[in-house]
Structures are given as structure tokens and as C-alpha cells.
């Protein structure tokens, strides 16, 4: 099917750009030193390309992501890098033969792992982002509790999300070092051979982990592209059809249900986005550009890739204007 026949709005993945991003990251973080985060794209089609490069352990944010990855044969080493209170579904996945490790940061989540049938855990440590993770000084005690309850503690994780979009690369590096010092302290108390953390924004700044949890690098978005030191290219756009042209503006059929909006409007190079409504994006032309006509198609760059992918059913993978694969976004929902 040619690209101009797909229903809009539709997600378009530039296959070559995706492969370049994957190769750039794999050169710096080869094999199991990268644990790609699937939450960014929720698509086993992308996970398969990452696994083919040797990244056979993955990071997940939801139980469903773990379930779908395991069912797709990608369950060699799945980390649910998030706290869960009811782990019975995870226990079922583990019993099916996949390797499942889960983050714990409290007595309650340790107990949930035991009662849910999950055998392996990481102690989740707060390294500066006020979200999940126990204080570093509590990590050792929690590991003891977990081991006493029969769990295998593989090590620690700590996500420095508070500095992932820090524009100053040197500042990002300095803060990452501070966060990883906290994680190292916890690791000394906890033991185990895994120190997991980091993301696309700290792919060079973070030197303290044994495995990097980056996900956004594969497809990128305009927010991460604000970090000018990152080499990753935009590989995903939202294809939209112009449905109306007004007196100085045009309207295309991709809106609040086609874009994650928490980081603001999508971008359309050469055009100024006025606003999005449910099924519309309204824009004018910047100097040197002309408004499109009704029926023309435009490709917009989302501001935040993760919630954008979560709104769509599939990605069209293209080589130029030819669709070479269609990937279901098969890890959506919970």
C-alpha cells in the first residue's frame, strides 16, 4: 500500500532513521548493557529490532507490557521498572517460562512479589526524582527483608528522571554523577550484579549503571530534540490530511487524540501551530512557505513520543514513500 492511501491520522516510522538511532545507541551501549525501555513505543516490532542488535533484556512500565513481550517471545529478561501492588499476572508470566524481575521500594511491594509469585526483584532507589524508590539508606534493609522472604535480589535501580531534559549537557552530567553516587551507595548495601537506570537524556552522562534503560532514542520527539548534544534523529511523525483551508490558516485531521499533549503542540516545520482540538490541528504558514490545499498531506512531529504512541493502533514503517511493514502498537492499555 502506498503511503498516501493510509487512513489519517497515522503514525509513520522512518525505517532507516530508526535503524540509525538503534545503531548509534548500540555502539555506545552494546548487547545487554542496554535494557531498552518499551514504554516509549509499546511496539514489539521495534523491540524485535532492538533484540536483533543483541539487546535481549528489556525494561517495561506496565504489567501488560511484560505480558505482551513474553507472549511475543521476547521474555529472556524482562524488568518491570515500576512498583506494582498486585503481581499475580506477573507471576503467571514468570511461571510460563519468561524471566520477570520487578522493582520494589517498600515492605508492601516486597510482600506483593512474594504473594504474586514473582521471584526476582531490584531494589528501587530514589536518586533525586520525587516519585518511586526508597531512600538510599533504606535500600540495604529492604534487600534483607526481600531475601528473608525468599526473593532473589538482583541489585538496584534508580531513575534520574528529574534531569532527563536538562538542556545543559555539563549540568546533566554533573547531576547524573550525583544521582549515581546515591545509587552506588545503595548498591554497596544491597549487593547483586545489576545497577539499572538512565535514559535517552543521560545516555552519555550516566556512567554509573551496568545497564541503561533508554527508550525514546529509537523514535525521538521534539522535547528530546531540545537536547542539542543528542545524535538521535526524529524517526516518527504523524501523517495528517488537510481537510479545510481558511483565510490564512489550514486545518489537518490530527488533534488531541493523535498527539500526547503534555509537552505541548506538535511541530510542522515551516508552519506555526495555532492550536489542536480533538480531531484537528490548525496552523498558518511561516514566511517563505505556502498554505497547503485541501487533500494535501502533512507530517507533524510529536512533542512527546510515549503518550503519542499510546493513542494509536499501529505504526506504518516506511522506506521513502513505500510502506514496508505495519506494526501493531500491541502493548497499549493495562
Among 36, 91, 161, 302, binds a second copy (CB under 8 A): 161
Which residue bears the cell 532527563? Answer: 164
In angstroms, rounded to a whole number, what is the distance separating the alpha carbons of residues 39 and 271? 30
- The answer, yes or no, to whether the previous bond of 9 is cis (omega within 30 of 0) is yes
Q: How far is the CB of 48 from a second copy (least distance, A)?
A: 22
227: cell is: 537536547
DSSP H or E segment with residue 12 = strand 10-14
User: Rounded to whole angstroms, what are the CA distances from 26 to 59, 154, 257?
Assistant: 16, 24, 33
Q: Smallest distance from the beta carbon of 314 to a second copy, in angstroms?
A: 9
Binding mask 115-144 for a second copy (x = CB under 8 A): -----------x---xxxx-x---------
Work out the end-to-end distance of the chain between its first and last CA atoms, rounded to an integer number of angstroms: 31
Q: Exposed, middle or buried, 201 (CB in 10 Å: 0-12/13-18/19+)?
A: buried
Residue 134 DSSP code? B
Quick one: which of 28, 108, 181, 322 contacts a second copy (CB under 8 A)?
A: 108
Site string for a second copy, 197-226 (x = CB under 8 A): ------------------------------
Dist. CA 6–CA 9, nearest whole Å: 9
Minimum distance between the CB of residue 142 and a second copy, rounded to whole angstroms? 12
The interface region with a second copy, picked from 49-57, 169-177, 181-189, 239-247 by CB under 8 A, is 239-247
Q: Write out the binding residues for a second copy, residues 46-75 only, by CB under 8 A.
A: 61-63
Of the two residues 56 and 116, which places its CB atom closer to a second copy in the complex? Answer: 116
Element (H, E) at 298: strand 297-300
Positions that interact with a second copy (CB under 8 A): 7-10, 39, 61-63, 82-86, 105-106, 108-109, 126, 130-133, 135, 161, 241-247, 249, 251, 253, 256-257, 260-262, 274, 276-280, 282, 293-295, 304, 306-307, 310-313, 333-334
Amino acid at each position: 500500500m502506498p503511503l498516501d492511501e493510509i487512513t489519517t491520522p497515522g503514525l509513520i516510522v522512518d525505517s532507516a532513521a530508526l535503524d540509525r538511532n538503534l545503531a548509534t545507541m548500540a555502539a555506545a551501549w552494546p548487547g545487554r548493557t542496554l535494557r531498552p525501555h518499551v514504554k516509549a513505543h509499546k511496539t514489539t516490532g521495534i523491540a524485535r529490532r532492538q533484540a536483533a542488535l543483541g539487546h535481549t533484556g528489556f525494561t517495561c512500565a506496565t504489567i501488560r507490557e511484560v505480558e505482551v513481550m513474553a507472549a511475543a517471545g521476547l521474555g529472556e529478561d524482562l524488568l518491570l521498572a515500576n512498583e506494582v501492588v498486585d503481581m499475580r499476572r506477573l507471576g503467571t508470566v514468570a511461571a510460563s517460562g519468561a524471566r520477570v524481575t520487578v522493582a520494589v521500594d517498600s515492605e508492601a511491594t516486597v510482600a506483593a512479589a512474594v504473594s504474586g509469585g514473582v521471584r526476582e526483584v531490584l531494589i528501587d532507589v530514589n536518586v533525586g526524582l520525587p516519585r518511586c524508590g526508597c531512600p538510599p539508606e533504606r535500600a540495604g534493609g529492604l534487600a534483607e527483608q526481600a531475601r528473608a522472604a525468599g526473593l532473589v535480589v538482583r541489585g538496584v535501580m534508580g531513575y534520574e528522571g528529574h534531569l532527563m531534559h536538562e538542556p545543559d549537557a555539563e549540568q546533566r552530567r554533573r547531576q547524573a554523577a550525583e544521582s549515581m553516587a546515591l545509587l552506588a551507595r545503595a548498591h554497596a548495601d544491597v549487593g547483586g550484579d545489576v545497577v539499572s537506570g538512565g535514559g535517552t537524556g543521560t545516555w552519555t552522562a550516566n556512567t554509573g549503571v551496568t545497564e541503561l534503560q533508554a527508550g525514546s532514542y529509537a523514535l525521538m520527539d521534539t522535547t528530546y530534540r531540545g537536547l542539542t548534544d543528542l545524535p538521535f534523529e526524529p524517526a516518527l511523525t504523524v501523517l495528517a490530511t488537510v481537510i479545510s483551508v481558511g483565510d490564512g490558516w489550514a486545518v489537518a485531521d490530527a488533534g488531541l487524540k493523535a498527539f500526547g499533549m503534555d509537552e505541548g503542540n506538535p511541530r510542522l516545520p515551516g508552519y506555526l501551530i495555532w492550536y489542536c482540538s480533538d480531531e484537528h490541528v490548525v496552523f498558518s504558514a511561516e514566511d517563505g512557505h505556502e498554505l497547503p490545499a485541501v487533500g494535501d498531506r502533512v507530517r507533524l512531529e510529536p512533542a512527546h513520543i510515549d503518550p503519542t504512541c499510546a493513542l494509536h493502533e499501529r505504526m506504518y514503517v516506511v522506506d521513502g514513500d513505500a510502506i514496508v511493514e505495519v506494526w501493531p502498537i500491541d502493548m497499549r492499555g493495562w
